[in-house]
């Protein structure tokens, strides 16, 4: 990641990247997160379906 930032943006970071000004940090992923409440998952999918259906050439839908 630090190499990408250096070559793309000319930003040099040392190990343990953390930038408080931007609210960014680079942390190791953990596999101990539980699933969301199933009702919340269904509501999210319902909202996502409507968002994707209503999208047009003036609105972008981003996922992470």
Overall pTM > 0.75? no
Note whether residue 23 is domain-resident. Answer: yes
Note whether residue 51 is domain-resident. Answer: no
Note whether residue 49 is domain-resident. Answer: no
Domain span at residue 20 reads 1-27
Q: Is 23 left (phi over 0), alpha (psi -120 to 50) or beta?
A: left
Note whether residue 52 is domain-resident. Answer: no
Note whether residue 10 is domain-resident. Answer: yes
Note whether residue 34 is domain-resident. Answer: no
Q: Which pLDDT score, from 0 to 100, does residue 4 have?
A: 81
Note whether residue 48 is domain-resident. Answer: no
Instruction: Rounding to the nearest 10 degrees, give the CA dihedral for residues 26, 34, 38, 64.
Output: 20
In tens, the pLDDT along 3-48 reads 887 888 887 766 555 556 666 666 666 666 778 889 999 999 999 8
Note whether residue 39 is domain-resident. Answer: no
CA distance to 27, 44, 49, 62, per residue, from 55 (Å): 33, 16, 10, 11
């Amino acid at each position: 990641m630090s190499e990408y930032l250096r070559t793309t943006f000319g930003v040099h970071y040392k190990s343990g990247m953390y930038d408080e000004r931007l609210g960014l940090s680079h942390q190791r992923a953990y596999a101990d997160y539980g699933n969301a409440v199933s009702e919340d998952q269904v509501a999210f999918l319902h909202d996502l379906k409507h968002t994707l259906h209503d999208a047009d050439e003036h609105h972008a839908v981003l996922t992470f």
